[in-house]
Structure 1
Amino acid sequence: MLTLTSPVETWAHRWPAGPKLALLALATTGLLLLSAPVLLAGAALATAGLYMTAGRGFARTGARLLWPLWPFVLVVGLWHLWTADLTGGAAILLRMLTAVALANFVTMTTRLSDMLAVFQGLARPLSPLLPPRRLALAFALVIRFIPVMLQRMAQIEASWRARSPRPPRWRVLVPGVLAALDDADRVAEALRARGGAG
């Protein structure tokens, strides 16, 4: 649970965490500044090409990590169909999918310890108020847990569909929250076993 680094070794695994996180910040900022669907589609294709440079197996794993976003895609798509704003809807969906895919790429190719070191360095000016290691660990765990929880929700929904013909909808919220609490408890135990966050 403490790591989502892909076991498939790629060229991106050899890049330091700092430059990768900086490029991710620049790329997501650029996506927010773009509004034309054509440009955003180009960014999405470039992201897909980035995954393909790491191999088909790596790209398939990256595509699976995007699958849990389908409820958001459905809601945003239906809303913009209803409001007849197809251009705006396409821009939002392309921006969201590309940003998450880029974040997943960094997550899959960066060790948690390397991310922790970067965040710890950035948090050093706040040391009089908060221990940098704790703040860095919090940032790193948030980045790691987003795809984990999306994947867990997809598993819960799949389990529901295997047992009931009705759509899951709100019924998966309670199991999802319980799974999140269980995962948090396991991570806390793992951290305590390793000496804590301090």
Structure 2
Amino acid sequence: MISLNSPIETRAHGWRAGPKLLGLCAATMVLFALTSLWAHMAIFAMTLGIYAMAGTTFLRFGLRRLRVLWPFVAIVLIWHAVTRDLEMGSVIALRLLSAVALANLVTLTTKLSDMIDVVRYLAAPLRRIGVRTMQLELGIALVVRFTPVLAQKGTYLSYAWRARAHKRPNWRIVVPFAVLALDDAEYVADAIKARGGLE
């Protein structure tokens, strides 16, 4: 659900990473503070409007990044329909969609190195008392970088399952997906060691 930097250039690409991340934090707090369905519908529409301001191609690009959320949205709506609280389920679903769309908007328009610079700046007080923050910076970089990679590999794994079994993938793809993730982790660990590690 976290997306890599977008190849489609927008005005937001030129904005500083710090204000964008601060705005994302503030927007997320607002999303969790609001409980009105109409307010969440308006915020989601505004979020789509921000994507649309960069052009229809960028809007479609952003919407494709939200498709992975449909199982979670479906589960939330079905559960709240069963418990007869569909309005709250709709609020939660819209909150999830808006939060992920806004987070994707930031990562799509911000270089990873710029976000790491913000983390390094915020962690400066820890370095003054002797705490090494390189691990934190590297950990955030790896999460942002490899979340979409693993999501894409999961999609390819699902396609492979459907091509061979001619039915929807089920829990049996969990083991091969875990093996893929571990293989990537080992490869990255070897690459970090080859470059001197975190010393």
Using structure 1 for the length normalisation, give the TM-score: 0.88
Residue 68 and residue 175 in structure 1: after superposition, are their counterparts in 2 closer, same or farther (change >3 A)?
A: farther
Q: What corresponds to 2:121 in structure 1? A: 121
Cα distance in 1 for residues equivalent to 2:166 and 2:57: 32
User: Deviations 1:40-84 (Å, cap 9, x if unpaired)?
Assistant: 011101110111112222221211111111221121121111111
Moved more, 122-131 or 83-92: 122-131
Q: 2 CA distance for matches of 1:174 and 1:29?
A: 36
1:15-49 deviation digits (Å, cap 9, x = unpaired): 01101000000011100001111110111011101
SS of equivalent to 1:167: coil
Matches of 1:190 and 1:15 in 2, distance apart?
32
Query: Quick check: 1:68–1:153 contact (8 Å CA) kept in 2?
Result: no
The aligned residue for residue 159 of structure 1 is: 160
User: Paired residue for 1:140?
Assistant: 141
Residue of structure 1 equivalent to 2:33: 33
Q: How far is the alpha carbon of 1:191 from its aligned partner?
A: 4.3
Q: Against the structure 1 CA distance between its residues 154 and 81, is the aligned structure 2 distance closer, same or farther, given a 3 Å change threshold?
A: farther
- CA distance 1:160–1:187, change in 2 (3 Å): same
Unaligned runs of 5+ in 2: none
**Per-residue deviation, residues 130-164 of structure 1 (Å, max 9, x unmatched):** 32232122123323433443333233223322322
Tell me how far apart the structure 2 counterparts of residues 194 and 10 of structure 1 sit (CA, whole Å). Answer: 34
Q: Distance in 1 between matches of 2:4 and 2:181?
A: 16
Structure 1: how far apart are the matches of 2:181 and 2:130? 29
Partner of 1:66: 66
Task: Name the CA distance, whole Å, in 1 between partners of 2:117 and 2:29.
Answer: 23
CA shift for structure 1 position 195: 5.5
The percent identity for this pair of structures is 48
- Higher mean C-alpha deviation, range 74-83 or range 123-132: 123-132
Give the aligned CA root-mean-square deviation in angstroms: 2.1
Task: Please state if 1:150 is matched with 2:169.
Answer: no
> Structure 1 CA distance, aligned partners of 2:62 and 2:191?
26
Q: 2:100 is paired with a residue of what secondary structure? A: helix
Equivalent residues, number: 196
Q: What are the Cα deviations for residues 74-125 of structure 1, in whole angstroms up to 9, with x where unaligned?
A: 2112111111110110000000011001101111111111011000111122
Larger Rg: 2
CA distance in 1, matches of 2:194, 2:57: 33
Q: Following the alignment from structure 2 to structure 1, what is the Cα–Cα distance between the partners of residues 77 and 110? A: 32
- 1:77 aligned partner: 77
Amino acid at match of 1:76: V
Stretch deviating more after TM superposition (160-169 or 93-102): 160-169
- What is aligned with 1:180? 181
